[in-house]
Structures are given as C-alpha cells and as structure tokens.
Structure 1
Amino acid sequence: MIVSITRLHLRGIRTLPTFAWMTVRSHFQIRKTKGLEHVSYRKEGMLTYWTMSIWHSPEDMKAFRNHGAHLRAMKHSRQLADELQYIQFSTTSKTLSWDECKEKLHQKYRANELVTEKNGL
C-alpha cells in the first residue's frame, strides 16, 4: 500500500473560502475513487491543513491525484498556500498514526534543509 501525506499552510484567512470549497469537492471525489483504503484530515491552527490517504497501489493514488476536482485544486494551490509539503511511502498497515506520519514528513523536509545548508544554497 502507498501512503500520501500532505501539509498545506494557507497564505492568509482570505484564501480560506476557496480552499474550503476545493477541499469539499476533492473529498467527494476521493470517496468515489477506486483503491482508497483510508483517508483522514487534520487542522493545525487556522491556516495549516494535513491530509493522509492510504491506497492499494501507486496507480490508484495517481488516478485520484491527476484527475477531477483534486487536479483543479492542485493547480490553484500555489495561489492559496505559501507552504506545500508532501511525502509518499509504502506500508503494510491499513492505518497509521498521525504522529508517525507527521514525523516522516518533518524528517524529509529537515533533511532537505540540511542538504541545502551544506551546499551553501
């Protein structure tokens, strides 16, 4: 199974209505998509949002990601958010804890920051 974790921080409160509308539309799409094992959402404060989805295969995940309401939302995400982070990894579990998923995402971006610092960028 494939796990996809995303973290999005909105640019400001004025982007919240558009983000909420796109989220609702994407939620209806994901519930109809073949191969979804589990989906969960989290909110941190007023402007930070997390998603976790677990898929039977990479193809199932890509079928959702690259079509419909979610694809339209991704095209607008840079206008709505000032931070976008994601990670995908394989698992044998059908459910994961949010703490574990958040830590995996944070580890990825901390490692990228260290490489950037080391290279003087």
Structure 2
Amino acid sequence: MPFVSVTRLRLRSPRFLPGFMWHNTRTLAQVKAAAGFRGGSLLADRGWAFWTLTAWDSLEAMRAYMTTGPHRAAMPRFVDWCDEGSVVHWEQEGDALPAWAEANRRMRSEGRPSKLRHPGPHHADLSFRPARTTITGPLRPKRAG
C-alpha cells in the first residue's frame, strides 16, 4: 500500500520566493532520486502557496528523504518564511495518485499545522482558500540507467 504525503506552504511575502525556489530546485532533484519514491505532483496555488503530493513505498522511505540532504536543509527556513504550513499523511489502496481535490479534503479534515514563527489567521485551523488546481506538474522518480 502506498504511503501518501501532502504538504502545503504559503510564503508570507514574495521576497522569500528566490530562496524558496533555490531550495525547491535542490529538493526536487533529491526526491526524484530518493529510494522508495513512487511519484507525485506539485501545485502552485494562488497567494504564494505551494503544495506537494507524493507517494512512497513506506513511511520510513518518506522520512529518510525528509530528514536528509537538501530537504533537511530547507525545512528550517520555512519556519520564518511561511505564515501557513500544513501536512497530512495516509496509506491508500492502489497505485494511482489521489486527485488534488482529495488531497485538499484530507488536508482540511486530517491535516495538522506546522510550527511557524509568524502564523497567519488561517494557519491553526487550516481555513485557507480552496486550492486552485490549474497549475500543476507531475513529479516522477528518476529511473536508473
């Protein structure tokens, strides 16, 4: 059964966008090569909000990615850069990635807010605007060979 992870970060100012994009480029290369990564999708939402939806072989595979390399180096930045941040995880039947509507639903019903130094008014209760799912992109594992 795939382990699904969904994250949402909202930058509190566009001035953090260059640093965010630099870290994003590095973490994308890392995730594509990560052991146990099955695939995913990225969503650039309105208002400087960014979502990731990833599927993994296991919770352990996702944690190994999350706690090492470029991803680990990026995470402390978001505590200051973001005014909204949340995460949700679940195991699911079948190999197909869930739709963004399902990711949004689960984030609101089962998600938890991340620790931030400058939380906005919609952070703690996850009452942010519904995701605009028109600007998405696939995230595929790098194949050996």
TM-score, structure 1 length as denominator? 0.87
Matches within 5 A, 1:53-68: 53-68=54-69
Structure 1 residue runs of 4+, over 4 Å off?
none
Give the Cα–Cα distance (whole angstroms) in 2 for the partners of residues 19 and 38 of structure 1.
21
Give the Cα–Cα distance (whole angstroms) in 2 for the partners of residues 109 and 57 of structure 1.
18
Paired residue type of 2:49: T
CA-atom RMSD in angstroms: 1.6
Q: CA deviation at 1:108?
A: 2.6
Q: Who is 1:119 aligned against?
A: none
Instruction: Pick one of 100, 103, 109 that aligns with 2:102.
Output: 100
Give the Cα–Cα distance (whole angstroms) in 1 for the partners of residues 94 and 11 of structure 2.
30
Q: Who is 2:134 aligned against?
A: none
Paired residue type of 2:100: W
Where structure 1 has 5 or more consecutive residues not aligned to the other structure, the ranges are 114-121
Paired residue type of 2:106: K
Contact conserved, 2:4 with 2:92, CA < 8 A, in 1? yes
Moved more, 20-29 or 87-96: 87-96
Identity of aligned residues (%): 29
Aligned residue for 1:93, secondary structure, equals coil
- Normalized per residue, the structure richer in helix is 1
1:55-95 CA deviation, whole Å, 9 max, x = no partner? 00111101100000001111111111111100011112322
* Distance verdict in 2 for CA 1:109–1:57, change over 3 Å: closer
Paired residue type of 2:6: I
Where structure 2 has 5 or more consecutive residues not aligned to the other structure, the ranges are 113-123, 126-145
Paired residue type of 2:66: R
Give the Cα–Cα distance (whole angstroms) in 2 for the partners of residues 42 and 54 of structure 1.
15
Moved more, 37-46 or 101-110: 101-110
Contact conserved, 2:3 with 2:91, CA < 8 A, in 1? yes
Instruction: Tell me the matched-pair count.
Output: 112
Contact conserved, 2:87 with 2:111, CA < 8 A, in 1? no
Q: Who is 2:26 aligned against?
A: 25
Aligned residue for 2:18, secondary structure, equals helix
Q: Who is 1:44 aligned against?
A: 45
